[in-house]
Amino acid sequence: MERRDFFKKVIITPLLTPLFLAAKKRKSGCELYLIEDNPEEFFPLILEELHNYIANYGHSFAFLNSHPHENDLGRILSQRGLTYVQTPIQADLTLSFSPLHEKTLPSFTLVKEGKIWDIRSRKLYSLWREMNKNQRRSSCLTIASFKSRQSHPFSGKYVSVYKEGSKIEMISLQENVTKSYRTRGGKITLRVKDGKAWVPESSCRHKICLHSPSVSFAGERIICVPNHFLLEIKGSRYIDTSIG
């Protein structure tokens, strides 16, 4: 089934509204939508292959509402080391059931960070073909919601200074220092103190970098475009505190 048709079937399902509201309260990181009358036959392999999208399922699961295959799905999750809890808001993974308004071909998809991910690749593409080989239509929609896990920022150790795209210096955040640099746009000053780095002076026309909050965590950076100047605290991902 095409992604557009998949969500046409899902959206017109009348019981989904309260389930979506419940999921909002839990701040789900992503949701797996599975249309299949016997979800327990395909759920284990799909769950196994989701490691490319979900680093950790957590340690507990719950059901938002009564599911016709609750016992089988619960057994599968228990075998994977998850513990059943009665309160959904305390669970890392919740499952819910809704009958579709009309039967449709079996399929599955993942919604993560507001984007629809087509996860039918390699093993899962073969699984999807197996689900559809008999053209048997299903009316059971199972939604697995994975709790959002916010990553805690790590304090940085060094701030790297770049000018004209080249790294010119690396300064420990434990130092107490003020340095000025000549740039294409004039001059810019870096201040490092108490584990933080910021720009107290700049001759650039926008002055956005001048009013930027300090950076101290891995991945944070300040970019001054007119001066072709960049402050960066090394991290696996980067957050632009200001671009100006």
Tell which wins on pLDDT, 39 or 226. 39
Which residues are within 8 A (CB) of 31 and not within 5 positions of it... i.e. 6 or more apart? 23, 110, 111, 143, 144, 145, 146
Q: Where in the chain is the domain with CATH 2.60.320.10?
A: 158-243
For the record, the structure tokens of 94 come out as 């919740």
Q: Measure the CA–CA gap between 148 and 152, rounded to whole angstroms.
A: 13
Tell which wins on pLDDT, 112 or 168. 168
Which residues are within 8 A (CB) of 240 and not within 5 positions of it... i.e. 6 or more apart? 221, 222, 223
pLDDT tens by residue, 63-117: 999 999 999 999 999 998 999 999 898 899 999 998 888 888 898 888 876 667 7
- Sort strands 115-117 and 83-84 into parallel, antiparallel or unpaired: unpaired
For the record, the structure tokens of 162 come out as 């770049």
Superfamily of domain 158-243 in CATH is N-utilization substance G protein NusG, insert domain (2.60.320.10)
Q: Is the pLDDT score of 240 beyond 70?
A: no
Q: Which H or E element spans position 228?
A: none
Q: What is the mean pLDDT of the chain?
A: 80
The reported pTM is 0.53
pLDDT for position 212: 80
pLDDT tens by residue, 125-138: 888 888 888 888 99
pLDDT for position 196: 92
Taking the C-alpha atoms of 81, 85, 90 and 95 in order, what is their torsion angle to the nearest 10 degrees?
Answer: 80
pLDDT for position 1: 46
Q: Is the pLDDT score of 9 beyond 70?
A: no
- Segment 30-54 shows an average pLDDT of 87
Q: Measure the CA–CA gap between 209 and 150, rounded to whole angstroms.
A: 27
Q: Measure the CA–CA gap between 212 and 207, rounded to whole angstroms.
A: 9
- Segment 199-219 shows an average pLDDT of 84
% residues pLDDT > 70 (the chain)? 78
Most confidently predicted of 26-30, 216-220, 233-237: 216-220
pLDDT tens by residue, 184-208: 888 999 999 999 999 999 998 777 7
Coil, strand or helix at 13: coil
